[in-house]
Amino acid sequence: MEIRTGTVDVRQDQAFFGREEELRRVLKNLTEGRHTLLVGQYGIGKSSLMNEARLLLTGGKHRVEVQAGGHSVQKDRLLTVSSPAPLGDCLREMAGGLYRNKDLRVESADERDDWALLKVRFTRLGIHRMQSEILKSIVRSRKKYIVFVTNLDRVSQSSLQFFQSLLRVTVVCGAAAATRDQEVFRCFWASFERIHLERLPGPVALQLVSHLMRHYPLNVVDPVMCRKEILYSAAGNPFHIKNLLYRAITQKTLGRREIRDFRTVEEGSFFNMGPLYMIGAGVLTAVKFFSVGAEKREHYIYYSAIGFMLYLTFRVFRSFFVFRPQRRK
């Protein structure tokens, strides 16, 4: 493989390792017409998996261990959407894909118009007409489109109806860090077969790190130590691996001290607020007892109100602040 130059951002590298079983499931689902949702933390590789599936489906890439077999599709049956929000940008992105596939039909527009001109006319239709024209163009094409949507968890109530309609005329493969539990979204998420992506296992993460270190310029004093620290700090998250290597590549020389700093860069300065909340609750309780003993009823009521507010804060924000280490920005 050709060695990459320093002008190429390692974070944009399309290297793909592991996930063979998940990839087989995605290919099988999409070719059989089942909506599929990839679920996992940010940076875990959902978009990379969708891109790999897209390449295999269209014959742009071949993998011996994962065969698309008779499941290949034409490129003009695929659409890619970077995000469902804002909805206007999403609709224009889909319209651009339909235009390239020669399937976009906009009333009062000449089919010979270039995309720049047609895009202006399309935007002037307004959100509701834009949605309608996209759905009608897909139906008129008589193609069973496969739509890849990243950040599908950003779908809003205002765009939900459009995406529910899209599910009826296409096959959707989406990626989401999490799904909303609100009742209005339950039917939508229930339409998907979910595939949960976990962190890369150690051997696979090692393959990815070794591949990137071979193909990008990296001036490091101790390559073995560098590899170990990246594996430890990234903990199987592909984006974190690439982000650490990007930081390493941008430095002229990477010494042992800089390598040890990887943990600080990815993990941040952790701060667990659990003990602080416990100490504060204990102090507040002691003050309330003291107020009772001193027969200061107004103080007791005042501190009880403070305690109640702190309890509400704990209940609402504990998933963000309590019993979980946080990064300081």
Helix (H), strand (E), coil (C) string for the chain:
CCCCCCCCCHHHCCCCCCCHHHHHHHHHHHHCCCCEEEECCCCCCHHHHHHHHHHHHCCCCCCCCCCCHHHCCCHHHEEEECCCCCHHHHHHHHHHHHHHCCCCCCCCCCCCCCHHHHHHHHHCCCHHHHHHHHHHHHHHHCCCCEEEECCHHHCCHHHHHHHHHHHHHCEEEEEECCCCCCHHHHHHHHCCEEEECCCCCHHHHHHHHHHHHHHCCCCECCHHHHHHHHHHHHCCCHHHHHHHHHHHHCCCCECHHHHHCHHHHHHCCCECCHHHHHHHHHHHHHHHHHHHHCCCHHHHHHHHHHHHHHHHHHHHHHHHHCCCCECCC
Report the CATH architecture of 202-267.
Orthogonal Bundle (1.10)
Q: What is the pLDDT of residue 162?
A: 96
CB-CB contact of 173 with 146 (8 Å): yes
Q: What is the pLDDT of residue 204?
A: 93
Preceding amide of 86 cis, omega within 30:
yes
Q: What is the pLDDT of residue 165?
A: 96
HSE (side-chain half, CA atoms, 13 Å) at 147? 29
* Tens of each residue's pLDDT in the chain, 329 residues: 333 444 468 888 888 888 999 999 999 999 999 999 999 999 999 999 999 999 888 876 766 556 555 556 788 899 999 999 999 999 999 999 999 999 987 765 565 678 888 888 889 899 999 999 999 999 999 999 999 999 999 999 989 999 999 999 999 999 999 888 888 899 999 999 999 999 999 999 999 999 998 888 888 888 888 888 888 888 899 999 998 888 888 877 777 777 777 665 544 444 455 566 677 777 777 776 777 666 666 777 777 777 777 777 666 655 444 444 444 33
Q: What is the pLDDT of residue 126?
A: 93
CB-CB contact of 103 with 137 (8 Å): yes
Q: What is the pLDDT of residue 270?
A: 41
Domain ranges of the chain: 19-196, 202-267, 274-321
CB-CB contact of 6 with 249 (8 Å): yes
Q: What is the pLDDT of residue 5?
A: 40
Q: What is the pLDDT of residue 153?
A: 93
What CATH class is the domain 19-196?
alpha beta
Q: Which two tokens stand for residue 171?
A: 């096959």
- pTM of full prediction above 0.75: no
Q: What is the pLDDT of residue 292?
A: 67
CB-CB contact of 299 with 251 (8 Å): no
